[in-house]
Amino acid sequence: MIRKVLVANRGEIAVRVMRSCRELGLMTVGVFSEADRKAMHVRYADEAYCIGPAPSRESYLNIDNIIEVAKKSGTDAIHPGYGFLSENAAFSDRCKQEGIIFIGPTAHSIATMGDKITARQTMTKAGVPVVPGTTEKITDEKMSMKIAGEIGYPLMIKASAGGGGKGMRLVREAHEMLPSFRTAKSEALNAFGDDSVYIEKYIESPHHIEFQILADRQGNVIHLFERECSIQRRHQKVIEETPSPLMTPELRDEMGKFAIAAAKAVNYEGAGTIEFIVSDARDYYFLEMNTRLQVEHPITERVVGVDLVKEQINIANGLPLTLKQDELQQNGHSIQCRIYAEDTDHNFMPQPGTVTHITVPLGLGVRYDGYVYEGYEIPMYYDPLISKLITWAKTRPEAIARMRRALYEYKITGVKTNIKFLEKIMDIPDFINGNYNTHFIEKNNDRLTVSKVCGTECEDMAMVACFIDYLDKIEKIQPQKFTEEFASTWKDFGRKRSVLRL
């Protein structure tokens, strides 16, 4: 049985994983880069070790250093969190070789789902609907034109090894096909060292809806319902909610069954997520599987009433699932907002810096997963995610009202954040009506870039605060008072010296 867990991650997720370990009575080992000595996960862990310089490649992605710490500290198991090494098949394999439990799926599952074309093929074989398109890598230009013709426009060209929007091209008409095919291939080669691409039908007005699954080593697989993740900026999720406003009970049941089939097709074990792309007409297609915990897992935890990290650890311990599909239900509604250190007025440019003041939103129906504290300097090397704010209520309108209230309470000074931007989303009719897809932010851009109104009186108060602050500051260093101050500096020193007997 696992007794000591190394968390190979940083930020909010490292702290979140350690919290569940502590509740289970497990010892925790933290690892940190040279930029992270003061990070919260180092303070939270029972043990903590430095694993290299600030750049991720030399620390959080350095498998050798992490394994060395695991062995030195007598760790039984490694939890990879999300990002970094969480979907690295070689790392999963290496842990196995070293006799350390990897809290996650096998290298085989990771590798199969990691290559998009192999994943598509596997899903097709398992009967899971995929976006109409090629099942083979394409390199030939003539072949690409022929296939494009069969699939029909608009379509997407995607890099097989892809991710992060690189090597991806939207083609609306036939005459754009060849130039786009060439650029996509060249981008893919540059970014991933592999120029193979594939072609998929483009779904207009797509929704991103994903299903959480849990699978044990005994072959039991369950799903914990969906999460709606369509509110995105720069292809990154900003707000997630469950249940999805688009969902019907029949659709949920159908998609849930496919999610389970998808996991079974790769002999999955642990927690995972099947992402679907869903059209406005509720046609749905397998998009990809994330073979790890998701950033947005808390909304599922809240609505289903489980602790997914504890489930992961139980599965890693070889225990069968105690949750049964027909006993699970969604209770109420949950929304998560991701709080980023970024400038929403300037293309969401990240904003590292020092946090001078925080007021955390609290109270009924609010969960806060974060890691920054007052005086903490958010490093420039890692993700700009500061925290996740999760609300719950019996109904969707109340959960939105609660999120609006929580965002109103939430204050961070020192770095720019997207808090006000998120607050505005809570007031946009399309969001309130649950009538949105991945184009939401683009579509509502005008409303989202307008500042809230601070009237004349409010402006006056803003100026008054500066005025009073400045007055009091000057008061302290006024020249006419300086001689007195000067004298008292001497006196102060005298007093301190007598007290301290230097």
Residues that bind another protein (CB under 8 A): 29-30, 37-38, 42-49, 72-73, 234, 341, 343, 346, 349-353, 356-357, 373-376, 380-384, 408, 411, 413-414, 420, 451-454, 457-473, 496, 499-501
Binds a second copy (CB under 8 A): choice among 393, 415, 422, 426: 393
Binding site partner of 331, from another protein, a second copy, none, Cβ cut-off 5-8 A by kind: a second copy
Task: Let me know if 219 is exposed, middle or buried by CB neighbors in 10 A (0-12, 13-18, 19+).
Answer: exposed
Q: Which residue has the tokens 């929403």?
A: 344
Q: What are the two backbone dihedrals, phi and then psi, of residue 394, each rounded to the nearest 5 degrees? A: -60, -40
- Closest CB to another protein among residues 300, 344: 344
**Smallest distance from another protein to CB 498, Å:** 9
**Smallest distance from another protein to CB 165, Å:** 12
Question: Is 408 one of the binding residues for a second copy (CB under 8 A)?
Answer: yes
- Closest CB to a second copy among residues 204, 427: 427
Residues paired with residue 209 on neighbouring β-strands, in sequence order? 228, 276
Binds a second copy (CB under 8 A): choice among 360, 377, 379, 428: 360
Instruction: List the x/- string, 427-466, binding to a second copy by CB under 8 A.
Output: ----------------------------------------
The reply to whether 217 belongs to the active site is no
**H or E element in which residue 322 lies:** none
Q: What are the two backbone dihedrals, phi and then psi, of residue 155, each rounded to the nearest 5 degrees? A: -140, 165
Binds a second copy (CB under 8 A): choice among 402, 412, 417, 440: 402
Strands (E) located in 216-346: 221-233, 236-242, 270-278, 284-290, 333-340, 342-343
d(CA 6, CA 26): 10
d(CA 233, CA 373): 26
Question: Residues 113-142, buried b or exposed e (16+ Cβ, 10 A)?
Answer: bbbbbbbbebbeeeebebbebbeeebeeee
- Closest CB to a second copy among residues 359, 449: 359
Q: Which among 34, 138, 68, 9 is positioned nearest to 379, based on CA atoms?
A: 34
Binds a second copy (CB under 8 A): choice among 1, 362, 380, 462: 362
d(CA 438, CA 426): 16
- Collapsing DSSP to helix, strand or coil, 115 comes out as coil
Binding site partner of 24, from another protein, a second copy, none, Cβ cut-off 5-8 A by kind: a second copy
**Smallest distance from another protein to CB 385, Å:** 9
94, 292, 302, 338: the catalytic one is 292
Q: What are the two backbone dihedrals, phi and then psi, of residue 400, each rounded to the nearest 5 degrees? A: -65, -45
The catalytic residue positions are: 292
Interface with a second copy by CB under 8 A: which residues? 15-16, 19-20, 22-25, 44, 298, 301, 305-307, 331-332, 359-360, 362-370, 373-374, 393-394, 398, 401-402, 404-405, 408-409, 474, 477-479, 482, 486, 489, 493, 496-497, 500, 502
